[in-house]
Structure 1
Amino acid sequence: MVSRDAIRKSLAQENTDYRGKEIIFPPVAKVNNAPVIIEAKIFRREVGRVNMYSGSSCEIIYEHCFEKLNPTIKATKVDLKTPLVGFSRERSWSIGEVPLETTIGDAPLSRIETLNFVIVRSDSSHNMLLGRTAMQRMGIVVSTIHGAIKLHTKKGIIIVLSADETDEGTKRARKILSTNEERVLSCVNTEEKIIVNDKYLDQTVTIEKQLPEHFKKELQNLLKSNTDVFAWTHADMTGIPRTIMVEEKPFNMEHKLNEYSHVKPIK
């Protein structure tokens, strides 16, 4: 694996004028495939073991880290009704959500954003997890090959290297990454509506959004080839009895509005 000093030397050649400057990474001799674990600041307090994880659409703060925050910050927590969805489609519920001022880098080369973190109860050795939302908001470009991230600030492009591999906490984090972080994938938009009958475009069928694309296509083809089993209009609802028996007497289940024939209905 390429040394950290070599990476730092290669990445540090940046112009302080960030306007119009592209974020690029130099080639490396050996590929680093370890997760990128950085340090960040939450309300100016340093927090280590922050995992840059593009597999999540939301930001995560684990309960053991949340409990160490200032009571005033903890008091801003609100209940969250959105479930967390994992790879195997299992759903779990968080214990709340909290807005946190997050800083990456050191002044003057730093970037500050207030991000909404979902609080999760887990035995993860990570303190926090920054997902796609944070990366998009802060313009973070992650390179696992280099074990580093880059982002623009008003004073230039900053480079943050992944935590030292000799750190025991980082080693443990990498070991359990596949069993803990993969469970947290998405907090929103877990369903997708598809059209299976071109004659009734407003009548859709709901499927899981994060199904594999080939599976979704096969499912859509299956539904389209069996559109006759669905009731698209009231006329298709055949075989439904209009009466039921109550104490051995027929009871009419059809309903109608008592209206005057000369009054035009208004929707």
Structure 2
Amino acid sequence: MINREDYATKNTISGSMAYKEEITFPPVTRVSNAPVIIEVAVFGRKVGRVYMDSGSTCEVIYEHCFEKLNPTIKATRVNMKTSLVGFSGKCSWSVGEVPLEITIGEHPLSRTDSLNFVIVKSDSPHNMMLGRTAMQKIGIMVSTIRGAKKFHTKKGFGTVLSVGEAGEETKKAERTLTISKERIPSCDDTEEKIIVNDKYLEQMVTIGKQLPEHFKKEL
């Protein structure tokens, strides 16, 4: 957990967060306490080991990952020292900040946004960390026990699974749910409208299409 010392709880994210559909997840088949680690694209280049941390108030790119970016991108770095407060309450300093364009998900169910990342010098096993700012701006909902995150796109819901074991379990659950839905016929396939009286053509009743003919006539 990393927090900017100058972060204020009253800060809000601009932009409309009103969506018509609510994000839902498949039923939990296996609970996981593993962290959610995903892959994103930074200016089109794939970057793995990105840690989702809702407890942090800023986005982080670790220096060892920053040094691997394109020189043109690295040139946008601002040598600004940002005070950071960790879980222990100890204050440390960043080695700069850089604006990055990140893409999550796969086209067409993807989102691309520009975020400001704090550059941190650390031997962390992760390359980047997305905190609350990114989650609020992009509209991400993370389910740790499922090892997955979902977000809104113009084409529907985007889903990104963790690279760990929990993500595989969620993938199986999503696949099972999709197959189950495909096997359920729609109302248009299972029902038909019947005219009861030829004098009143607008008055119809709906019955099951699969019923035997003699039973339909009796009804």
TM-score above 0.5, yes or no: yes
Matched, 1:35 2:35: yes
Which residue of the partner structure matches residue 88 of structure 2?
88
Matched, 1:153 2:153: yes
What is the distance in 2 between the residues matched to 1:101 and 1:28? 33
Which residue of the partner structure matches residue 76 of structure 2?
76
Letter in 2 for 1:129: M
Structure 1 outlier segments of 4+, above 3 Å: none
Which residue of the partner structure matches residue 128 of structure 1?
128
Letter in 1 for 2:128: M
Aligned positions of 1:94-173 closer than 5 A: 94-165=94-165
- Given that residues 81 and 95 in structure 2 are in contact (C-alpha distance below 8 angstroms), is that contact kept between their aligned partners in structure 1? no
TM-score (norm 2): 0.65
How far residue 55 of structure 1 moved from its aligned partner, in angstroms, is 1.4
How far residue 25 of structure 1 moved from its aligned partner, in angstroms, is 1.4
**Structure 2: 5+ residue runs without aligned partners?**
1-18, 167-219
Aligned positions of 1:214-225 closer than 5 A: none
Larger radius of gyration: 1
**Structure 1: 5+ residue runs without aligned partners?**
1-18, 167-267
- Given that residues 34 and 147 in structure 2 are in contact (C-alpha distance below 8 angstroms), is that contact kept between their aligned partners in structure 1? yes
Which residue of the partner structure matches residue 62 of structure 2?
62
How far residue 164 of structure 1 moved from its aligned partner, in angstroms, is 3.5
- Given that residues 34 and 164 in structure 2 are in contact (C-alpha distance below 8 angstroms), is that contact kept between their aligned partners in structure 1? no
Which residue of the partner structure matches residue 46 of structure 1?
46
Higher strand share: 2
What is the distance in 1 between the residues matched to 2:60 and 2:81? 15
How far residue 45 of structure 1 moved from its aligned partner, in angstroms, is 0.2
What is the distance in 1 between the residues matched to 2:47 and 2:121? 18
What is the distance in 1 between the residues matched to 2:165 and 2:79? 37
Higher relative contact order, chain-length normalized (CA < 8 Å, sep 6+) = 2
What is the distance in 1 between the residues matched to 2:109 and 2:29? 28
Secondary structure of the equivalent of 2:145?
coil
Residues 211-267 of structure 1, C-alpha deviations (whole Å, 9 max, x = no match): xxxxxxxxxxxxxxxxxxxxxxxxxxxxxxxxxxxxxxxxxxxxxxxxxxxxxxxxx
How far residue 57 of structure 1 moved from its aligned partner, in angstroms, is 0.3
How many aligned residue pairs are there? 149
Secondary structure of the equivalent of 1:145?
helix
Secondary structure of the equivalent of 1:111?
strand
What is the distance in 1 between the residues matched to 2:152 and 2:101? 18
How far residue 69 of structure 1 moved from its aligned partner, in angstroms, is 0.2
What is the distance in 2 between the residues matched to 1:113 and 1:81? 24
What is the distance in 2 between the residues matched to 1:30 and 1:50? 23
Letter in 2 for 1:153: T
Letter in 2 for 1:109: L
